[in-house]
Structure 1
Amino acid sequence: MTVHRGRWSLEDRLERGLRELPFDVPPGTASLTVQLSFEGGVIDLGCHGPSGFRGWSGGARRAYTVAADWATPGYLPGEIEPGTWHVWLGLHRIPPGGVPYEVTVTTSASGAPRPDAPQPPPRPGRPPRRDLPAPAGTRWLAGDLHSHTLHSDGTLTVHELACLAASRGLDFLAVTDHNTVSHHPELPAAAAHAGVTLLPGQEVTTDLGHANVFGDTGWVDFRRPSADWAAFAAARGGVMSINHPLSGDCAWRRPLSEADRPPFVEIWHSSWWDRRWGAPLAWTDLWLPGGAVPLGGSDFHDPAQHKTLGEPTTWVLAEAEDGDGVLAGLAAGRTSVSAAPDAPVLLRVEDDLIAVGADGTVLVRPDGRRAAVRGDLVRTPADGPGMHRLETYENEVIALCG
């Protein structure tokens, strides 16, 4: 057994926010359990082994187990290598008086009992799919690009989340747990069971900003500079987006040069509760002079929250209806965002804009020109690159497209 105890101070947090507490694992170890106790503040929790990352649960848990054949959600099962391991502690909120803490690590040669896996819910019924105008050989797919499970700070299993996505009429869902990829192995079975495409993702999470990385890229090291996140994702066929850039203390404040900035921005997030508020639009216009690719995400965690899966809905024009097709459509910037799967939508199809179900709204072009939309299916030429949007007569944004 290894025990670390002490008191973290505000100065400790300001000096270095992520602390690594070492412990030795002897040969023949079959499992290890870490328990964290503290009073006041918020301390995040993670794990690093001799060969690299083994898990992260942030502030959602105060204990975890890692074994050869199973691990606490958020952590990676596998061989328990002998050598020096580290408990990661993220000093997320440390008040002026400090936070007393204790970390206890227990290793076992006989393993740890595996908890019973919950049974998946019944396969849900789903609403009829919406048939939107698209070029031959393509289809607009409805999805949500930001969601969480109990592998981080969500409350649903991967299977439960997948079934909820199908019941909402979504074609795809990006599962983006914080700073971990432990949920990725569960995605194929849950997707097949629910009848929905689950896109591997992770929300790279720090005190100064969050970013989603979509695709089966492997774990992104959140300790590295943001430019490294983007380069890592691109090198492995993934896509990185800046998340909720104006969302409270999760707003994007990380340094990132213009040359390294990804064009993908989660401009429409559930925190944009009053869409007459123009700051997200202004921020996005300043992010990249050539224009950003608008994305949307509910940031769904828990059915008891105010957030609803698929609100907003991100539409992706895809050539294939699987994860590769969704990812390729995203990478190409073929996106549109609407308030919900059945809400008015503005689509960019080749050189035209098509407004569907938007009679009586206002089309706003990148240069600010406005025109009334009259009719339930209206086609008009686009004005080259740049973000177009639909608004109500009260200037509330109801649809976006790049």
Structure 2
Amino acid sequence: MDRRDVLKLSALAGATGVLTLAPVDFAGATGPASPSGGGSGSDVTRTVTGHLPTGVADFVYLPVEVPRGVRQIAVSYGYDTPQVPAGTLGNACDIGIFDQRGTELGGKGFRGWSGGARTEFAIAADQATPGYLAGPVQPGTWHVVLGPYTVAPQGMDYSVTVTLSMGEPATPVAPQYPPDHAPGRGRDWYRGDCHLHTVYSDGKRTLDDLAALARAAGLDFINSSDHNTNGAHAYLGPHAGDDLLILTGEEVTTRNGHYLAIGLDGGEWIDWRYRARDDAFDRFAKQIRRAGGIVVPAHPYGMSLASQWKFGYDNADAVEVWNGTWTLDDEATLLTWDNLLTGAARRGDGHWIPAMGNSDAHRDPDVVGLPQTVVLADGLDRRSLLAGIRAGRSWIAESSAVQLSFTATGPNGEHADIGGRLPVGPDAPVTVRVTGGGVPGALVRLLTDEGQMLAEPLPESGVLEWRTTASLAAYVRAELRHPVSPGSLLPGGAAAITNPIWLGRQ
């Protein structure tokens, strides 16, 4: 089935971001009727080929007319990768599927997404390929979704094969979502990594692997954040325990940046099929909060295509300023975040965006817990942890070996911790105290809305004090840095970064 004519007739569809091809018809494939909807037990296959030109829509929908009596739907696909000149983008195409409930943005029809990590998948009532949602294959119009991420100047030749297996459907399996609380230690500092990938998207680690590595890293909590799918949620329960809280979430991977939905209700899915110009982000940020979660732009200056954040920060609950091993894009994000703090100081309305850090670990040698966010929470439970992150009662550590405390005190016993406010007059003396450990040769940096005010080696005692006033510093935040590399014009890599302490009466 050649789709060239369909593309010619639908040339205008690319401008709207969606192109729909002619349907794949399985007429005559229905097996004998039965009370349970079973069929004949045979397999029926259709293959579609076509060509996508450069400038094609973000998403190309291939309708599949699914008859009654289908036990399983399986899809495989491929595309050509012609040579292109150096510096020119070649072919890359993602894939996923929506069921008979439709492809409406944010609708109920989502049944899975694997991006470019897989060339085939299958869905049945009792099981599905990781990244896809198990459940009955109901009759109606399903849609295989091609996502031509980049298209070479020659265009992209593609092939999609759909196989329907007729027969009695299996019994669906009940989901095992993780509990939203663990015993914990009461009000305390809890360590977590909220940006992690597994075989349910483009990672190479199983859920068993992930849980084991989180425990080995000394983490108290993690967040499941596979790309554009909630497929892992239903299988996370057995991997949680009294020693590890597992939150359910998603990395929402749009064409204009990625963001984390952290701490969603189990089974909640967040759509990603929009750009900044589509004015859809705010809608899905609200959905995340209704589902109990928070919104965190990820690696805003990421180096991969379409990973740079372009939706702004007005509707963010925090920002990931440190992603994996410390690199120049983290340094750029840190500067941007510091500018956001200065803007908050100017407004004086008490609203500011906290920072957090996560590993974004996919596979070996990525290190789970490098970095990790250390959160002051009332308990080891979803609500308390997210409240702590949202309030900025947190700091970022390179590993569980790094220790830090950061406080500010006033002349009359006033006291504030990370994320808090020290209510003193503009000229009252303020003492800032940093206590650190676990970073050989650490350099302490103290920064305010004016910039870096101090950069000194951490004393052997592990304690450093600095004095200022609220008239000189709207806020103070602290960093522990590794020693500077010889000849470098930049500070050493980060070992710890705190959220600010705000100074002065609001």
Question: Same-fold call, TM > 0.5?
Answer: yes
Where does the alignment leave 5 or more consecutive residues of structure 1 unmatched?
Answer: 115-135
Whole-angstrom CA distance in 1 between matches of 2:442 and 2:68: 71
Moved more, 260-269 or 23-32: 260-269
Q: How many residues of Structure 1 are paired with residues of Structure 2 in the alignment?
A: 374
Query: 1:168 aligned to 204, 209, 217, which one?
Result: 217
Report the counterpart of residue 211 of structure 1 in structure 2.
259
Partner residue, 2:47:
3
CA distance in 2 between counterparts of 1:387 and 1:86 reads 50
Q: CA deviation at 1:141?
A: 1.0
Question: 2:221 corresponds to which letter in structure 1?
Answer: F
Aligned to 1:53: 110
Please give the residue correspondences for 1:103-252 in structure 2 after superposition, counting only pairs within 5 Å: 103-110=160-167, 137-192=186-241, 195-217=243-265, 218-224=268-274, 225-250=280-305, 252=307
Contact 2:299 2:308 in 1 (8 A): no
1:390 alignment counterpart: 480
* TM-aligned CA distance change 1:274 to 1:63, over 3 Å: same
> In the superposition, relative to structure 1, how do residues 239 and 141 fare at CA in structure 2: closer, same or farther (>3 Å)?
same
In structure 1, the residue matched to 2:357 is 296
What is the rounded CA distance, in whole Å, between the counterparts of 1:344 and 1:250 in structure 2? 35
Q: Distance in 1 between matches of 2:369 and 2:444?
A: 23
- In 2 relative to 1, CA 149–234 (structure 1 residues): closer, same or farther, beyond 3 Å? same
Contact kept in structure 2, 1:180 and 1:202, CA below 8 Å: yes
Report what 2:443 is aligned to.
Answer: 361
Cα separation, 1, equivalents of 2:444 and 2:194:
26
- TM-superposition CA deviations, 1:228-259 (whole Å, max 9, x none): 2322212222101111111213565454355x
Residue in 1 that maps onto 2:326: 272
CA distance in 2 between counterparts of 1:325 and 1:188 reads: 20
Counterparts of 1:169 and 1:250, CA distance in 2: 33
Secondary structure at the counterpart of residue 286 of structure 2: helix
Secondary structure of the structure 2 residue equivalent to 1:151 = coil
State the partner residue of 1:341: 400
After superposition, give the CA deviation of every residue in 1:320-367 in whole Å (9 maximum; x if it has no partner). Answer: 113333223223322210111112435444557643216853231223
1:83 to 140, 143, 155: 140
1:400 aligned onto 2:497: yes
CA deviations over 1:250-299 (Å, ceiling 9, x no partner): 565454355x3314111101253359x74222222345622431111111
Supply the AA of the counterpart residue of 1:264.
A
In structure 2, the CA distance between the partners of 1:74 and 1:360, relative to structure 1 (3 Å rule), is closer
**In the TM superposition, what whole-angstrom CA distance separates every residue of 1:88-139 from its partner, at most 9, and x where no partner exists?**
111012111122111111112226999xxxxxxxxxxxxxxxxxxxxx9511
Distance 2:110 2:94 in 1: 15
CA drift at 1:30: 1.6
2 CA distance for matches of 1:337 and 1:251? 26
CA distance in 2, matches of 1:177, 1:315: 22
Greater gyration radius: 2
Deviation at 1:164, TM superposition (A): 1.2
Q: Cα 1:253–1:371, aligned 2, differ >3 Å: closer, same or farther? A: closer
Counterpart secondary structure, 2:240: helix
> For residues 360 and 299 of structure 1, what CA distance do their matches in structure 2 show?
25
1: CA distance between counterparts of 2:434 and 2:306? 32
TM norm structure 2? 0.68
**Deviation string for 1:20-60 (max 9, x for gaps)?**
11001112212100111212122101011123100000000
Contact 1:345 1:355 (C-alpha < 8 Å) held by counterparts: yes
Contact 2:297 2:309 in 1 (8 A): no
Q: Is the contact made by 2:325 and 2:371 (CA closer than 8 Å) also made in structure 1?
A: no
- SS state at 1:159 partner: helix
Aligned match for 2:372, one of 313, 316, 326: 313
Decide whether the 8 Å contact of 2:73 with 2:124 is kept in 1. Answer: yes
Partner of 2:454: 370
Task: Decide whether the 8 Å contact of 1:67 with 1:111 is kept in 2.
Answer: no
- Contact 1:268–1:295 (8 Å) recurs in 2: yes
Q: CA RMSD in A?
A: 2.8
Report the more deviating stretch, 357-366 or 74-83: 357-366
CA distance in 2, matches of 1:379, 1:238: 37
**In structure 2, distance between residues paired with 1:89 and 1:81:** 21
Question: Residues 252 and 274 (structure 1 numbering): CA distance in 2 closer, same or farther, change over 3 Å?
Answer: closer
Instruction: Identify which of structures 1 and 2 has the higher relative contact order when contacts are C-alpha pairs closer than 8 Å and 6+ apart.
Output: 1
Equivalent-residue separation in structure 2 for 1:399 and 1:353 (angstroms)? 15
Aligned mates of 2:54, 2:464 — CA distance in 1? 58
| Distance of 2:146 and 2:308 partners within structure 1 | 22
Say which of 68, 89, 92 aligns to 1:27.
Answer: 68
**Partner residue of 2:124?**
67
Give the direction of change, closer, same or farther, for the CA distance of 1:158–1:401 in structure 2 (3 Å limit).
same
Percent of aligned pairs with the same residue? 33
Q: Is the 8 A contact 1:312 1:338 kept in 2?
A: yes
Runs of 4+ more than 6 Å apart: 111-114, 379-382
TM-score normalised by length of structure 1: 0.84
What's 1:43 paired with? 93
User: 5+ residue gaps in structure 2?
Assistant: 1-44, 82-90, 102-108, 172-184, 275-279, 345-351, 407-416, 423-431, 485-490, 500-506
- Closer, same or farther in 2 for the Cα pair 1:380/1:113, shift >3 Å? farther
Separation in structure 1 between the aligned mates of residue 465 and residue 363 of structure 2, nearest angstrom:
39
